[in-house]
Amino acid sequence: MTARQKPSFPKHFLWGAATAAHQVEGNNHNQWTVWELENAKAKAAQAEYHFGDSPAWDRIKAEAKSPQNYVSGRLADHYNNYATDFDYLTKMHMNGYRFGIEWSRIEPTEGAWNIEAITHYKNYLKELKKRDIEPIVTLFHFTLPVWFMEKGGFEKRANVKDFVRFAEKIAAELGTHMRYIITINEPEIYARESYLSQDWPPNESSRWKFLKVVNNLALAHKRAAAVIHATNRKLKVSIAKNSPYVYPGDNAWLSRVSAQTFQYLQDDWVIKKFIKSCDFLGVNYYFTNRVYGYRVHNPDEKLSDLHWDLQPADIEYVVERLYRKYKLPILITENGLADAEDEQRQWWIKETILGMQRAIAGGVDMIGYMHWSLMDNFEWAHGKWPRFGLVAIDYKTGKRTLRPSAAWFGRVIKKLRDAA
Ligand code: BGC
């Protein structure tokens, strides 16, 4: 790491980690918890088909074949242990933290606010402030109140107002404790997995509904951003966009055109619907896709436990492209990998830092970097076996352990912040 030589990151760059409410809090009641209970057995039965030929299979099979793996349950019980978990942010010298506010806790029945839950998040934010940690707050990270789903969720344009009311409530009650708000996490991934691929609740497969949901989410973002700004002009709003890097594997005309088309469909087609109501751009980077002809064919030299091809350095090209095109400061709202043995995480983070350094040197305005994730969590349809955490969680005892790569990352953050 050449970090000591010259200040390569801005003085106020935010170094942090991210979580989402449902993935760490434990004991939620929302559309996901209902679906988990209905689908756990089927998911357990399908695990070998999906991951049987993964090199990690022997290690993960006991968990992956157990229905319990697919029920979030208590998880890390972060809802009650957040102060302990924030100590790990401090241990890693972090000054930023992205987390979610669970709508189903704030408004458990339609139109009735839960004062206790609001107070909980107020205390949560105060605890971050005590530690000088900048909060980045997500309002919708894939989970919705059951009552909202029962009336059609984001399929219905008329329901958008419910989300806007929630956004307004959060800005009014908690807005003075925060600066950055992510209205919606990965809108197109939510719409695709829930309404096209039949992987997430409500398990639909309809192009029409997928499109409707993406458009309604764009409207929800626009209106939420307007009420947030009207409530508190200091607040800065964005979505978190899952942005892959796509490139042609050879010089053939078809490969080049396909790569451009894929990039457009996965990125710009979506971003264009949201960007006008963004003050910055939140970016989740996990994937690069190399295209030959009209197919993605990745090198697969290094794979995560989830079998994802790992190309951390390409973060440079992702942020450069987005900054050139949209000219908004960029905040990396997620970036990381499932690596239970902690064999590749340090390498991944190092390559990522170097990639960001190059992008910044090339003129990209970056606000910060949130690693996914602060702690092991509930990886949606895959359940608990994928381990994304800087902090490992023993789900039986609740014990937390800082992974070696995280201790190393903490030392690097300290050096980078001291040098800035
Ligand atoms: C999501 C997270 C998820 C992570 C790893 C992102 O797309 O926002 O909720 O855990 O990817 O799959």
pLDDT tens digits, residue range 80-120?
999 999 999 999 999 999 999 999 999 999 999 999 999 99
Phi, psi of 145 (to 5 degrees): -60, 145
Mean pLDDT estimate for the chain: 97
Kindly report the protein residue whose alpha carbon is nearest to atom 10 of ligand 1: 379
Average pLDDT value for residue range 229-245: 98
% residues pLDDT > 70 (the chain): 98
Paired tokens of 400 = 């937390």
Q: Which run of H or of E encompasses 43?
A: helix 31-51
Distance CA 199, CA 179 (A): 34
Mutate to test the pocket of ligand 1, among 304, 380, 384, 390 (most ligand atoms within 8 A of CB): 380
CA of 100 to the centre of ligand 1 (A): 13
pLDDT of residue 204: 97
Kindly report the protein residue whose alpha carbon is nearest to atom 5 of ligand 1: 379
pLDDT band at 339 (very low <50, low <70, confident <90, very high): very high
- Residue 75's region, left for phi above 0, alpha for psi from -120 to 50, else beta, is left
Neighbours of 316 (CB within 10 A): 22
pLDDT band at 5 (very low <50, low <70, confident <90, very high): low
Statement: residue 54 has pLDDT above 90 = no
Distance CA 283, CA 281 (A): 6
pLDDT tens digits, residue range 278-298?
999 999 999 999 999 999 999
pLDDT of residue 7: 67
CA of 152 to the centre of ligand 1 (A): 24
pLDDT of residue 56: 86
CA of 310 to the centre of ligand 1 (A): 15
Place of tokens 């993406």: 214
Statement: residue 128 has pLDDT above 60 = yes
Radius of gyration for the alpha carbons in the chain, expressed in angstroms and rounded: 20
C-beta separation of 362 from 320 below 8 A: yes
Q: CA geometry: angle at 381 spanning 376 and 387, to 5°?
A: 20
Phi, psi of 92 (to 5 degrees): -90, 10
CA of 56 to the centre of ligand 1 (A): 20
Which atom, in ligand 1's list, is nearest to the CA of 142?
9
6-20, 31-45, 237-251, range with the lowest pLDDT: 6-20
**Residue list, ligand 1 pocket, CB within 6 Å:** 20, 23, 185-186, 189, 242, 284, 334, 372, 379
Mutate to test the pocket of ligand 1, among 379, 382, 387, 390 (most ligand atoms within 8 A of CB): 379
pLDDT of residue 257: 98
CA of 24 to the centre of ligand 1 (A): 12
For 234-278, give the DSSP string. Answer: T-EEEEEEE--EEEESSS-HHHHHHHHHHHIIIIIHHHHHHGGG-
Average pLDDT value for residue range 332-345: 98
pLDDT of residue 3: 45
Statement: residue 2 has pLDDT above 60 = no
